[in-house]
Copies of this chain bind each other. A is one copy, B any other.
Amino acid sequence: MSTKNKILDAADVLFANKGFNGTSLREITSQANVNLAAVNYHFGSKKELIKAVMSRYMDELSPRLESALSLICQAELKPTLHEVFSAFIGPLLHLNEFKENGTSTFLQLLGRGYTDSQGFLRWFLTTQYPDVFTNFTKAVNIAYPELSAEEIFWRLHFTMGTIVFTMSSSEALIDIAQNDFDNKLDIAGVIERVIPYVAAGVGAPITKNEPLSLV
């Protein structure tokens, strides 16, 4: 295996578990059994390595997601929100074949990207992969046309939060659930449970903008 890939494989697991700031190049290179200077030689800088790690996943995910969503949109009958969100399942779980624990690793990375390093990764993703967002918005709009663009914006970000946050701590949550409820669950099981939640959330009835009553 090439040095470049050895670095990427070691980096994405460490980044997912300990964050971008929390992972040093020395950890990555010693885990990957390569020289410390290899990162700067092959990627230029740590920041570029982070981009490369995310791009490897996005390039695998983004086309599959796009075709799954366009399939939904072009169907004869109007899709339900549940169907729109279910379109994510296949592409996301495919990351597990692409790399071991790929799905949860990627979603953890996504979560890190939104909080670590002051949102430079959010900028990177929205500018490099804008289609993912617009396609998703379109699909939701078809499934629930009464929702204004602004409502969609907010509810999609709420959904983002639900998914990303859940997956960031999915290992810990699965452990707790296993202890408390004796119910063995994997990442697919968590996704299965979160889909009805976010579908119902996005599909919530529209509320008028009234001033809040401070109870």
Point out residues on A near B: beta carbons under 8 Å.
17-19, 21-22, 68, 86-87, 89-90, 93, 111-112, 114-119, 122, 149-151, 153-155, 157-166, 168-169, 172-173, 176-177, 180-181, 183, 188-194, 196-205, 207, 209, 212, 214-215
Q: Which of B114, B155, B181 contacts A153 (CB 8 A)?
A: B181
Identify the closest chain B residue to A161 (Cβ). Answer: B165
A116 CA / B19 CA spacing, docked (Å)? 7
Q: Is the CB of A197 within 8 A of B153?
A: no
Most buried by B among A89, A155, A173, A215: A215
A202 CA / B207 CA spacing, docked (Å)? 17
Which B residues are in CB contact (< 8 Å) with A87? 215
A107 CB, min distance to chain B CBs, angstroms: 11
Residue pairs across A and B with Cβ atoms less than 8 A apart, 20 shown, are A17-B118, A19-B21, A19-B115, A68-B215, A89-B215, A90-B215, A114-B168, A114-B169, A115-B169, A150-B180, A153-B176, A155-B197, A158-B198, A161-B162, A161-B163, A165-B165, A193-B207, A196-B205, A197-B202, A200-B203
Which B residues are in CB contact (< 8 Å) with A192? 207, 209, 212
Q: Which of B115, B150, B168, B214 contacts A181 (CB 8 A)?
A: B150
Which B residues are in CB contact (< 8 Å) with A197? 154-155, 158, 201-202, 204
Q: Which 6 A-B pairs have the closest CB atoms?
A: A161-B165, A200-B204, A201-B201, A197-B201, A150-B181, A196-B204
A162 CA / B205 CA spacing, docked (Å)? 18
Identify the closest chain B residue to A155 (Cβ). Answer: B197
A62 CB, min distance to chain B CBs, angstroms: 17
A115 CA / B166 CA spacing, docked (Å)? 10
Q: Is the CB of B154 within 8 A of A193?
A: yes
Query: Beyond A21-B21, A158-B194: 13 further Cβ-contacts under 8 Å?
Result: A19-B19, A111-B165, A115-B168, A119-B169, A153-B176, A153-B180, A154-B173, A154-B190, A157-B166, A157-B169, A161-B163, A161-B165, A200-B201
